[in-house]
Amino acid sequence: MRKYFVTGLYLIIIGGLLVGAGLVMGADKTVLWDHGFKISRQIDKTETVQKFDKVKVDGNAYSVNIETGNSYKVHVVGDLLRSSEFYVSDETLHITSNKSGKYSDIVSGYKNPSITITVPANVTLKELNLNMNQLGMDVNGAKIDNLVISSGSNGSLNFVDSQIKNAKNIELDSSYLEFQQSDIENFEMSESSNSQIEFIESNIKNSKLNARDIDLSMTKGILDNLTVESRSGNTEISQSTLRGKNSFKMRSGSFSAKGTNVDGVDLSVINGSITYYGESQGKSYQHDADSENLLKVDSTNGSIEVGGN
């Protein structure tokens, strides 16, 4: 018993010394616990890396961003022991999981680790492969041939001034996906639950979204041959142009399209209501339903509102 008491006392004394040392060292140092005391430090470094045309981000990488520049490089800010690792293999830049959950703070100068990837402005990434689990990512100015989101939940992904040619079998779970001033084609979402997709001054073409529960919004954009099928959720389209056949089918929820430019509409609901430019239309309404540019909405339980500002 005495042996364990003495050992514990030694550990308390050592821990106290480390705590004191951490305080003396200032806010840029962190005293951590992981089967023993460890001292980490804050880093802010940029490393040039070899050429790559694919990026793969593991789950729990947390804050990872992509921007364009004039070289291939990676900028890391945050706690050294908790930061993700990165390396290039077979022309793929790998970002590993963040190690924040491994440690407990004793004395904290902790800053959430963040990684910024720079790609030359004239380079098109062949693939961006993401695990959305706890991921926060901004992609600015990138050109991407293939976007892959394989799994993960509680993530946030924002594209700004970017171009995406293909995105197949996308899965979202309790996540947020946003496109600003961006173009995306051949976007196929195979499953989504409790997620939100927002298009702001962006264009989506030849795409199909299947969702269990999704909120979808489009502002000042172009929808060109988009098909959406959902069990529940809300869709809001405003100040946008619809080209080709755009079809929305939902079991429950609301659909609203205001300030839109479209030639024809074909609207129907089983249990719910239809409002067209402020007037109730009963259970169905068609106007120029044979038009080349058509908005078609079918709802089982919900409301459909088209027209107005």
pLDDT of 92 higher than 60:
yes
- From CA 269, how far away is CA 273, in angstroms rounded? 7
- Joined tokens for residue 143: 């050109």
Say what the pLDDT of residue 33 is.
Answer: 41
Say what the pLDDT of residue 297 is.
Answer: 98
CB hemisphere CA count around 267 (13 angstroms): 27
Say what the pLDDT of residue 187 is.
Answer: 97
> Which has the higher per-residue pLDDT, 192 or 19?
192
Least confident of 101-115, 116-130, 204-218, 254-268: 101-115
pLDDT tens sequence across 107-124: 444 456 789 999 999 999
pLDDT tens sequence across 124-135: 999 999 998 888
Q: Determine how many CB atoms are found less than 10 A away from the CB of residue 4.
A: 8
Handedness of CA 284, 289, 292, 293 (dihedral sign): negative
Q: If you average pLDDT over each of 28-32, 172-176, 185-189, which comes out highest?
A: 185-189
15: closest CA among 145, 107, 137, 108? 107
- Joined tokens for residue 86: 């990165």
Say what the pLDDT of residue 201 is.
Answer: 98
Say what the pLDDT of residue 8 is.
Answer: 47
228: closest CA among 195, 261, 272, 277? 195
Say what the pLDDT of residue 113 is.
Answer: 78
- From CA 34, how far away is CA 40, in angstroms rounded? 12
CB hemisphere CA count around 219 (13 angstroms): 7
For the chain, give percent helix, strand, coil, nearest 5: 10, 65, 30
91: closest CA among 51, 59, 60, 125? 51
Mean pLDDT of the chain: 85
What global pTM score does this model have?
Answer: 0.85
- From CA 165, how far away is CA 190, in angstroms rounded? 17
Say what the pLDDT of residue 180 is.
Answer: 98
pLDDT tens sequence across 16-66: 544 445 444 444 555 444 444 455 567 789 999 999 999 999 877 788 999
In degrees, rounded to 5, the angle at the alpha carbon of residue 179 between the alpha carbons of residues 147 and 66 is 60
- Joined tokens for residue 275: 């409002």
Dmax (CA) for the chain in angstroms is: 90
Q: What's the rounded mean pLDDT across residues 149-165?
A: 92
DSSP 8-class letter at 239: S
Q: What's the rounded mean pLDDT across residues 209-233?
A: 94
At residue 256 the predicted structure's pLDDT band, cuts being 50, 70 and 90, is very high
Say what the pLDDT of residue 40 is.
Answer: 55
Phi, psi of 307 (to 5 degrees): 100, 160
